[in-house]
Chain A
């Protein structure tokens, strides 16, 4: 799986993207966040307040209950502020 981070999520994690294999038992965005938050102190800091995190699966906005697989591109970022 390819995981991308943007804005302050990227800064806290300390990288813009990473490749990882989904452990068994991880099948949704919410479960993926649980897994990622345990990887490094940076990840833990980035995902400390989940209400401030938004996600996309394969470049479409996704909710915490959205399904994810090893073939997906998943991104995490703060609420958008364009325009």
Chain B
């Protein structure tokens, strides 16, 4: 059962990794991904809106899919919402397994699916105004590469 959290505040990647591996001797690999707010085109902040309730359900479903596809011994997904400034971490994905391939692949899968199947919306603030980020075709393509026959 994955640990899924949607929160406004920051996360502690080191503490989350330690919690995933503490007392375990069957884990040979932990893969981690941290998404960070980037200062593109004079961006001063990003505001992440989400759908409370559905967001948690969607993330839990995506994590369950990863656990069904790979032999994971642990999985953590933490996604922030609210106002985030450049340099601030947005999302943390940790996957643990006996071997690295399952950890690497499931971590990439979780991020690709999360971007297209979890109800978050980004609004970028800059000196010249604010705008909603549009969904990208390349994100749909990245998610589609995991589809099964």
Contacts and interface: CB of A to CB of B under 8 A. Distances in A.
Contact of A78 (B35, B50, B90, B135): B135
Interface stretch (A1-9, A20-28, A36-44): A1-9
B80 to A, nearest CB: 10
B31 to A, nearest CB: 16
Interface residues of A, number: 16
A75 interface: yes
Nearest to B133: A81
A81 B122 contact: yes
Interface in A44-80: 56, 59-61, 75, 77-80
Given A7-B121, A59-B57, A82 B51 contact: no
- Interface of B, helix, strand, loop or mixed by DSSP: mixed
Contacts, number: 70
Those 6 A-B pairs whose CB atoms lie nearest each other, nearest first: A82-B120, A79-B135, A59-B54, A7-B121, A83-B115, A81-B133
B122 A59 contact: no
A14 to B, nearest CB: 16
A29 B56 CA distance: 23
Interface of A: 4, 6-8, 56, 59-61, 75, 77-83
B53 A81 contact: no
Interface of B: 35, 48-51, 53-54, 57, 79, 90-91, 111, 114-123, 132-136, 139
B145 to A, nearest CB: 15
Contacts of A77: 51, 119, 121
A79 B49 contact: no
A80 B134 contact: no
Given A82-B79, A82-B118, A83-B114, 15 more contacts: A8-B132, A56-B119, A59-B54, A59-B57, A60-B57, A61-B117, A75-B54, A77-B121, A79-B134, A80-B118, A80-B135, A83-B79, A83-B90, A83-B91, A83-B118
